[in-house]
A and B are shown apart, each in its own frame.
Chain A
Amino acid sequence: MTEKRFEICPTSELPPGDRVITTLDGISIGVFNIDGEYHALKNDCPHQRAPLCEGKLTGTTESTAPGQYEWTADGQIVQCPWHGWEFDVTTGESVFNPHSVKAKTFQTTVESTGEARGGSSAEAAGGSPPCSSCETSEVDGEPPVDTYDVEVEHDTVVVYL
């Protein structure tokens, strides 16, 4: 495999509807979070090489009959900032001619990176009843606190070129 692997950012930094534009191996690439799925698109419109990924992220229209509009693919269509050509971010295909006009896409995954660290965090017990078998005591009127071990995975958005 000659694929090159690039870590883009933690998933927490790329919420749904957001995108990040970055340069990987000299190529400008937009990485999008569309409804929790990550997609990478070359930032280069096949028409006149506009920075495609800087365009409006929107939906588009379909129709069943003249005069009828249906809104579809909401948040999944990037509209080229220059001439308005629409591309489906999830496939790179243009809406007007999906078979032969396409923007280049790249494989994008989410991978766990770094070590899963043991840790702890405190959570208020809320309305749960006191643990009768626990040795607890109220200190200065503070309610009893249950503690749990929590594993935090560090998920990272990864693009392969």
Chain B
Amino acid sequence: MTDTTTIPAESSASSNEISLVDADIHQRWADDEEITQYLPPRYKDDGIVAPTLLYRNPGGFFRQEDVADDGTKPGTDLEKLASTHLDENNIDYGMLTGNSWFNLAALPNRDYAVELARAYNEWLVNDCLPVDDRFLGSLYVAPKAPEESAELIREYGDNPQIRQVMIPGGAEVPYGRPQYWPMYEAAEEMNLAIAVHPFSEGHGTSNAPTGAGHPNSYIEWHTLLGAYYMGQLASIVTEGVFVEYPDLRWAFIEGGYGWLPHFMWRLDKNWKGLRSQAPWLEQRPSQYIRDNVWFASQPIEEPETPEQHNQILDMMHADEMLVFASDYPHWDGDDPTWGLPPMEDSVERAVRYENAMELWDLPRNQ
């Protein structure tokens, strides 16, 4: 079990009171060599070979003002990332989620996917996390190789800044299947959350990114990330992942949350008549979601009126489950100051930091 008190106490935040935790910050390598240096000899010559997103965003995928004149993408300079994004926004902890384009679940070769994940983790612990104490880390694993992924979790998971294991939204089969459970067992054992972040949906060997098939455009693809997550969430809840691993904490990042009331109500309603198909569930399905699952806010839902947003927060139990994320430096990010709409003070505290502290079991005093 990770000792939560070993997180370094230094912080450049103005007080030792936590005020904001950012659940999704994308750091990236400027040059592939930063990653490939950690690949084993058998893959040195291959470099990074990963499926890519084939949908085009006309505005690009980054905040355009942060793209340097020489084309250097934001997130590559980690000291700058700390001094601008963390300092200027008074962020006490920022979860580094890396660079989506590995698409580790969409790679056909399991061994290569494991080694690419290992190389990323080496880069993360050697070259990223030491830059600033406020950085938290997300391990990469290869879901097609659950046993080897469990080894990676145990190997890297005791770094006190590592707080979660990231898996792609897209995969070959839903995440509730017992084939994946060695990863969950390891994560629970190491006191790490499992976080799902969009990538691999519809790329390479993964499934179509929507139940309806392959969309025509990025607007379709990006709109329906929540629909993909619904499939994963139904799977992990009904297959009994949280019955088997009651202390496992799970996060869904960047797939929205406005669909949660519908999803929880529908699942509970169906359970009343179809309970016999999942008799291991010891309580109504939505209770497992409220107890074990968190959702990152970005891209924030923008209904027709602010009142409607507050109704969503109330219906989904945002005070228990929603965590702020900026998604910096991506094009659809939410600004830490202006991104959150008005909400009740107690809910805002929960969303800004309290829920994230629980999700990652972070110490209250930095």
- B239, CB-defined interface residue at 8 Å: yes
Q: Which partner residue on chain B sits nearest A62 by CB separation?
A: B279
CA distance A46 to B275 in the complex (A): 17
Instruction: Count CB-based A-B contacts (< 8 Å).
Output: 48
**Neighbouring B residues of A64 by C-beta, 8 Å:** 280
Cβ < 8 Å to B, chain A residues 103-137: none
Query: In chain B, what residue has the closest Cβ to A72?
Result: B279
Partner of A85, one of B240, B272, B277, B284: B272
B239 touches A66 (CB 8 A): yes
1/0 per position for B235-256, CB-CB distance to A under 8 A? 0000111011000000000000
Interface string of A63-97 (1 = CB under 8 A from B): 11111111000000000100111100000001111
Chain B min CB distance to A69 (Å) = 7
B280 near A86 with CB under 8 A, answer no
Would you call B273 an interface residue if the criterion is a C-beta within 8 Å of the partner chain's C-beta atoms? yes
Determine whether B346 belongs to the interface, using a CB cutoff of 8 Å to chain A. Answer: no
Do B276 and A67 touch across chains, with their CB atoms under 8 A apart? no
A61 interface residue per 8 A CB criterion = yes
Q: Size of chain B's interface in residues, with CB distance under 8 A? A: 16
Q: Is the CB of B280 within 8 A of A85?
A: no
What is the interface of chain A mostly: helix, strand, loop, or mixed?
Answer: loop
Interface size of A by Cβ–Cβ distance < 8 Å?
A: 21
Residue of B nearest to A83 (CB): B273
- Cβ of A11 under 8 Å from chain B: no
A128 CB, min distance to chain B CBs, angstroms: 53
Chain B residue at minimum C-beta to C-beta distance from A84: B273
Q: Find chain A residues with CB under 8 A from B284 CB.
A: 96
User: Is B140 among interface residues, defined by CB-CB distance under 8 A?
Assistant: no
> Does A86 contact B276, Cβ atoms closer than 8 Å?
yes
B273 to chain A, nearest CB (A): 3
Known: A66-B239, A67-B178, A96-B271. A60 touches B244 (CB 8 A): no
Asked if A96 contacts B243 (CB within 8 A), the reply is: no
B residues bordering A, Cβ < 8 Å?
A: 178, 239-241, 243-244, 271-277, 279-280, 284
Please list 20 pairs of residues, one from A and one from B, whose beta carbons are closer than 8 Å in the complex, sorted by A's number.
Answer: A60-B275, A60-B276, A60-B279, A64-B280, A65-B240, A65-B244, A66-B241, A66-B244, A67-B240, A67-B280, A68-B280, A69-B279, A70-B279, A80-B273, A83-B272, A83-B273, A84-B273, A84-B274, A86-B276, A96-B284
